[in-house]
Copies of this chain bind each other. A is one copy, B any other.
């Protein structure tokens, strides 16, 4: 019997996961959490094998799903965390996997795939949505053009149309630092302006 904790801020999604999973005879939903903090609390108690974790916990929540995942997996004997989210971007998947998630599924997955992934997670095996697996492999193959984490962060804000000043405030940096990052980004991407960098990075999938 695999004991599940469902962590999602949407009541409808919780009900949907419960409805889909509790018809599996070997599954038992033992708890639900509507906030990331509550999920961490509940996952700390014994009697949970797999946590189904959403990444987005709506505004008014200090903690996101990736942070909660990190907090849960940090403990010894922690349950496995299976991320189940709507979003499928590098910006979301990588932090979640780095935080120790055992798997990463999309909410549009068919119920059967969900159940398989839960069983895989319970057994300690990984379960990735095909699109996620694709991008991970592609990332492995493409060794080049890697922007550093900070550079990616800066470029993301550039893509959102922020000025260097706004970026510096957002990241608690000086404008000089932001500009410096941009110079490095330009050389790495072989471009010479912010808009060209954004286009290039979008094309390569470095930023959503």
* Number of copies of chain A assembled together: 2
Nearest Cβ in chain B — how far from A178, in angstroms? 15
In Å, the complex CA distance between A206 and B114 comes to 39
A15 touches B19 (CB 8 A): yes
Residue of B nearest to A161 (CB): B195
- Residues of chain A touching chain B, judged by Cβ–Cβ distance below 8 Å, are 9-20, 58, 84, 86, 107-111, 114, 159-163, 166, 194-195, 198-199
Neighbouring B residues of A114 by C-beta, 8 Å: 12
* Distance, CA A60 to CA B13, complexed state (A): 23
Contact B12 A107 (CB under 8 A): yes
Partner of A12, one of B17, B198, B199: B17
Chain B: which residue is nearest A158 at the CB level?
A: B161
